[in-house]
Structure 1
Amino acid sequence: MTNHIGDMQNSKAIIIFGANPASNHPIAMQHILKAKQLNGAKIIVVDPRFTKTAAKSDLYCRIRTGTDIAFLYGIIRLIRENKWYDKSFIADRVYGMDDIFKECEEYTPEHVEDITGCPKELLIQAATAFATADPGCLIWNQGWTQHTIGSSNTRLGSIMQLSLGNLGKPGGGCNILRGHDNVQGSTDLGCLADTLPGYYGLSEGSWKYFAKQWNVDYEWLKGRFKTKEMMEAKGFSLGLWIHGVLDKENQKNNADTPIKALVCIGNGISTITQTHKVKEALDKLEMVVFIDPFVNDAAVITTRNDNLFLLPAATQVETEGTVVNTARSAQWRTKVIEPLYEAREDQDILFDFAKRLGFYDQYIAGMGKGDKFKWPEDATDEIARSLKTIGMQGRTAARIKKHTENWHLFESTSLKGRGPVEKEYYGLPWPCWTETHPGSPVLYNINIPVAQGGMGFRNRFGLERDGVNLLSAEGSAPKGSRINGGYAEITAKNIEELAGVTLTDAEKKAVEGKNWKTDDSGILNKYAIAAGLAPYGNARARAIVWNFIDHIPKHREPLHSFRPDLVKRYPAVKDIPNHFRTNVRYKTEQDAQVWVKNYPINIVSGRIVEHMGSGTETRASKYLSELAPEMYGELHPNLAGKLGIKDGEMMWVYGTGEGKIRIKCKYSHRVDEKSVFLPQNFSGVWQGESLLGRYPDKTAPYGSGESSNQVTSYGFDQQTSCPETKCSLVRIERA
């Protein structure tokens, strides 16, 4: 998220794709409504379903699921044709926009209407309202990311903002609303299959850097892996781990070893695609452990008879430490009560595991105080010291606590503090380069100095490409910068020239061979910021990503497309071998059959306001379950009539795989006549059979229902492997 939630109040237009903040992010929605009421902002919603957010919009555009890229190219074409783009911003700070303008040519309003189903008049109105406003804010959520081309969705949305010069300014930006608190924090700390903490890669150099930060021997660390090659290879992702259990072909990508055990801590794994395959994998594993405050629904789905363990974890009010919100700001959670009954705090469970597995001393060594560390303060300071790539050095436990204790002294639309936190931004949003840096609430803002949160775009992909300079142009540096244009990332070799300083012999020795990402001394950052330089350099944002499958974003029809006539023109990519250790089908799956013949109804899925995530916690609430007690599917009355299903009657929904669910029909005009809306927040019923008797005594939820992901189709993002829950076809019959 480049800006922050309160900053939306500074917008003149807000366009929302694949998100429903009125239901899923009510706190964010209040800022959107304030922008409309106090700042005159136009609200534009692009969504397959008429949501509660759409009800508050000035303009609603209904599109077919999986066609966002076509719609975006339609907007970009209108931006180009009407010369609404920011010519100087593109010339000075963007690489590759000509290729985007060339790609958008075929997406005329008429062609976009054919692909998306949205009338061309609405496309033109949306483009006009958004492109002529200054500044304009883009918002998205999982309705964009959970597609086979989800990474292309987010890229092209960002490119649209680049074309309008809407990045690096208050009220603008690219803003993803995370599903719940600390999603951002978990990714920052490396809870991904392809990075180490702080988004460091998996190369030998990165592992050696962290061996030093963790105060362990690199050779010992390497010895924890079967081979060095596996140490430096992507792991199984959340969406694909089941294939490391079920498929022998994929186990070859895992050093010829099947996954034999699973420890699941705080993750609703029943919410990924093809839940029936998750059950199959859970049943086959030798051991499964769930660590949660409530019973994980997947523990009830599995029918295994042994080696299934449920460990009760403490809730947030029974533990302490930092969480990071969607806007990169850290907040300190203070323990309210000690854990009740047998529940234990997460770290105590993990420390116990480490002791029993024989590496406790190495596990805690990074805190540097032997067994006398103070939790969680010392762990927080270890994170601040180690994660230099995203500028965490200034986010010490003491500073974060001070902000949380003085939260009332910060202004919501700018995050600026006053009194004891004057000249700092709430939660020290990263990058926060030093212990005196205020944090950076708006990324890429060159209108303020680096020392006050300013920066250009990161220099990450070299200095030139095909003879074109990748550094930003002269005159496009942060205010007060010693270098008025672009410059490379800061290293020991260039710091003296770029910052205009002469290092002492002691300083040279301290930083020798280092760059800003690996310098523990802080010398490089200190001199860079004093010279008004962002440690990561100042480059052009790239619209062309040459190391991705699609160098520029491409519209590709969903694997299970509602429009087989368009599949030939916009096919899926070729199958990808060893994609997060899994051989993933794309073109093969798309061409397996004409899916719409047997599965003629399109899924629109999402969350509802009464429940959160998988609903594991909220369905345990009597009062929230009274508001939304059971699973249902929204059908347009005309479609339901054709199927012979009355409002309130039960119906069977069959997915393209082996899954099926029995749910109640709910008449609704929110969906079109070719779709069904399925909430993602239910479990406790399996293909018509109640599972409530499988919960341990007195732990069954008050609300239960079929999991919608039993019928979601096979599909994973071609770059990130994020499961595709947003483009599936089903068949519906009266029960």
Structure 2
Amino acid sequence: MRTTCPYCGVGCQVEPEVQGGRIVRVLAPDIPPNHGALCVKGRFGLDFPFSKKRLLYPMVRESRNVPFRRATWEEALDFAAEKLLEALRRKGPEGLAVFPSAKTTNEEVYLAQKLARALLGTHNVDHCSRLCHSSSTAALSRSLGGASMTNPLEDIWKTDLFLVVGSNTTETHPVIAAMIKKRVRQGARMVVVDPRYTGMAEAATLWLRVRPGTDLFLLNAMARYILEAGLWDRAYVEARTEGFAEWQASLEEYTLERAEAITGVEREKIALAARLYATTERAGAYWAMGVTQHTKGTATAQALVNLALLTGKVGKEGAGLNPLRGQNNVQGAGDMGALPDVYPGYLKVAEEAARKRFEALWGVPLNPKPGLRMTEVFEAIPEVEAIYLIGEDPVTSEPYQDHLKAKLASLPFLIVQDILENETTPFAHVVLPAASFLEKEGTFTNTDRRVQRVRRLLDPPGEARPDWWITQELGRRLAQALGRPWRVYPGPEGIWEEVRQAIPELMGGITYARLVEEGVRWPCPHEDHPGEAVLFRERFNTPSGRARFFPAPYAPPAEPPSEDYPFTLSTGRVLFHWHGGTLSRNSRLQEAYPELKVEVNPKDAARLGLQDGEPIYVVSRRGRIRAKAWVTERTPEGVVYAPFHFAEAPANRLTLDALDPISRIPEYKVSAVRLEKVD
């Protein structure tokens, strides 16, 4: 039976064959988006539901000073509801938070944010996008009025130039990388901006090896060069944009000479990249965490938006602005309203019309005040007294791990709802066992807005239940106590029908019946609509219908190297694992990549007397971890690269918790560290 891969945002269609309660092989149908292709995670990493670390029954405890005890579902849900209500009475809606999961289905995310808003009265709702593409969301939303890829993945075959910035696509989105590389072999060109010699850099026509954290200066310098060379699309700018004059005036300092000094990239290469992008009609920009995970992440994403608008690249086939989304349903989680300032469909919490729409739908008055972002919620503990955490592992994924642990230890009440034990489970008061992607129905939305089915192949083990059922039952208890309406759904399709009713302009035409063979992209306002492939062909989703330029001022990273900490640490992923490793390290993939290896440039290794494979300590102002040195040219001098998948050697023990002022995303890509030999 066909379902959707639970790893990255490509949304590959997979057909796992199950025998004797185990996956024996995974096939892939020749349909979009992957057309039969799979990466190593989709092919060999889907067996995590059979891990010995599966959570099999509910557990509760009154305090962290006592061990968990097994509980019935009735007891666990009653206890969870009671504690949430106590926190609500003491602190009000601002004292609670609900974090849905980008690993769960659209239906489950919708229900979780509905519980937070309609029952608890709080907009303290967020998800892991805060740690990955919240910077992109902020920039795209304010400029274009939308927060997604503007173009479909099929447009890769129509693209003549790829501008790939801060994306290790070969390892993080391998199926997309294979498509892009094939298109390059067919004659397209590719400009890659990345400090590391990734698989994309290897295939590039032009590789710009920027210093970590300086992409923003480079992009602004490209824009200034395009303006001065007269290569910009004046007709497009005049007809379809606003804010141009103010933005143009902000570019004065971004000369090629200064760009070379700050980024380390030769001015001739910067000029060439600018010319290639400006003069190629079908040029598409693709980016990921190397753009967003900085204190200037929103500004860097904004610089990409400005560059595309300047050259008339938005609203056209084979071009556009294309953030490659991380989690399997992180696009869907945003679409479903798992953000503190928007309802489903990105309707703003602060706007009266949006509030009235959902008050009418849900039958309750709603809070007009936007909530706290995830990173702000943790800092607000213990004023935030209770958190309902679904499918997230903040101990592994948040920066400055020791500080985060101290915060969680002071949190009066925590519900953890997940499929596997993780590093956050020990901080919980209630643990609720959830069903995996193989054990439930629903939909995921992939990186290019394609809504696709998730189908149940197996029964959940033990007493595990689908997330939608757990949230529904918890909501039923809260609603009864609060005297508020709460709809009980027969299944995920019933929830989806409410989503269609809530945001018909995006999802009105997408039914389960239409998703039997292939997915359908939003916006899809009615059942005869095919789903929009290219966004903003005629107008932008802004009040004026025009896109807006915004200045994107550069500032250096918050923690530069120093005498005591002379290296820049950058964190990221590897091909064989995914994010915090909860899924991939409980699969066969763990055998292929069992431990942390930190990339060190050969010249740095020689100066320190390090050998390849030698154990080392990586030390920052916040902590220390032990790893093996991987001596490689992939990483430039003065930079070390550490994947963050390994709980026993957590890279996020080292990372800085400085935040972007707009998106509040942490600066994962630049932290100052030193390397020490292990005696």
Structure 2 counterpart SS, 1:730: strand
CA distance, structure 2, for counterparts of residue 347 and residue 406 of structure 1: 24
Q: Which residue of 2 aligns with 1:668?
A: 632
Q: Which residue of 2 aligns with 1:619?
A: 585
Q: Give identity over the alignment, percent.
A: 32
CA distance, structure 2, for counterparts of residue 2 and residue 295 of structure 1: 37
Q: Which residue of 1 aligns with 2:552?
A: 553
Q: Which residue of 1 aligns with 2:318?
A: 171
Q: 1:217 to 1:288 in 2, by over 3 A?
A: closer
Structure 2 counterpart SS, 1:43: strand
Q: Map of 1:26-175 to 2, 5 A cutoff? A: 26-38=174-186, 40-175=187-322
Structure 1 counterpart SS, 2:494: helix
Q: Which amino acid aligns with 2:607?
A: K
Q: 1:56 to 1:243 in 2, by over 3 A?
A: same
Structure 2 counterpart SS, 1:598: coil
Q: Deviations over 1:334-366 (max 9, x none)?
A: 211221222111011112212333449988745
Give the one of 541, 551, 561 matched to 1:458.
541
CA distance, structure 1, for counterparts of residue 364 and residue 161 of structure 2: 53
Can you give the 5+ residue segments of structure 2 that lack an aligned partner in the other structure? 1-148
Give the one of 394, 397, 404 matched to 2:509.
394
Structure 1 counterpart SS, 2:443: strand
Q: Which amino acid aligns with 2:548?
A: R
Deviation at 1:665, TM superposition (A): 1.3
Deviation at 1:69, TM superposition (A): 1.4
Deviation at 1:261, TM superposition (A): 2.7
Q: Which residue of 2 aligns with 1:200?
A: 347
CA contact (8 A) 1:289 1:308 kept: yes
Q: Which amino acid aligns with 2:524?
A: C
Q: Which residue of 2 aligns with 1:265?
A: 390
Q: 1:362 to 1:82 in 2, by over 3 A?
A: farther
Q: Does 1:727 align with 2:673?
A: no
Structure 1 counterpart SS, 2:302: helix
Q: Which residue of 2 aligns with 1:515?
A: none
Q: Which residue of 1 aligns with 2:641?
A: 677
Q: Deviations over 1:80-120 (max 9, x none)?
A: 12221111111111112233333333222221011111122
Structure 2 counterpart SS, 1:391: helix
Q: Which amino acid aligns with 2:408?
A: L
Deviation at 1:330, TM superposition (A): 0.6
Q: TM-score, normalised by structure 1?
A: 0.69
Q: Which residue of 2 aligns with 1:464?
A: none
CA contact (8 A) 2:475 2:486 kept: no
CA distance, structure 2, for counterparts of residue 713 and residue 4 of structure 1: 35
Deviation at 1:708, TM superposition (A): 0.7
CA contact (8 A) 1:49 1:604 kept: no
Give the one of 415, 418, 421 matched to 1:295.
421
CA distance, structure 2, for counterparts of residue 101 and residue 70 of structure 1: 14
CA distance, structure 2, for counterparts of residue 232 and residue 24 of structure 1: 38
Q: Which amino acid aligns with 2:284?
A: C
Deviation at 1:309, TM superposition (A): 3.5
Q: Which amino acid aligns with 1:266?
A: G
Q: Map of 1:145-544 to 2, 5 A cutoff? A: 145-203=292-350, 205=352, 206-214=354-362, 216-218=363-365, 231-245=367-381, 258-269=383-394, 270-299=396-425, 308-359=429-480, 365=486, 371=488, 373-388=489-504, 391-399=506-514, 401=515, 405-407=516-518, 427-446=519-538, 456-460=539-543, 471=544, 539-544=545-550
Q: Which amino acid aligns with 1:180?
A: Q
CA distance, structure 1, for counterparts of residue 364 and residue 284 of structure 2: 47
Deviation at 1:727, TM superposition (A): 1.9
Q: 1:714 to 1:317 in 2, by over 3 A?
A: same
Q: Which amino acid aligns with 2:170?
A: A
CA distance, structure 2, for counterparts of residue 724 and residue 345 of structure 1: 34
Q: 1:384 to 1:649 in 2, by over 3 A?
A: same
CA contact (8 A) 2:391 2:418 kept: yes
Q: Which amino acid aligns with 1:603?
A: L
CA distance, structure 2, for counterparts of residue 54 and residue 627 of structure 1: 24
CA distance, structure 2, for counterparts of residue 360 and residue 189 of structure 1: 26
Q: 1:672 to 1:349 in 2, by over 3 A?
A: same
CA contact (8 A) 2:341 2:350 kept: no
CA distance, structure 1, for counterparts of residue 483 and residue 333 of structure 2: 22
CA contact (8 A) 1:54 1:60 kept: yes
Q: 1:638 to 1:364 in 2, by over 3 A?
A: farther
Rg (Cα) greater in structure: 1
Which structure would you say has the larger RCO, counting Cα contacts within 8 Å and 6 or more residues apart?
2
CA contact (8 A) 1:244 1:259 kept: yes
Q: 1:276 to 1:55 in 2, by over 3 A?
A: same
CA contact (8 A) 1:290 1:296 kept: no
Q: Does 1:709 align with 2:652?
A: yes
CA distance, structure 1, for counterparts of residue 370 and residue 358 of structure 2: 17
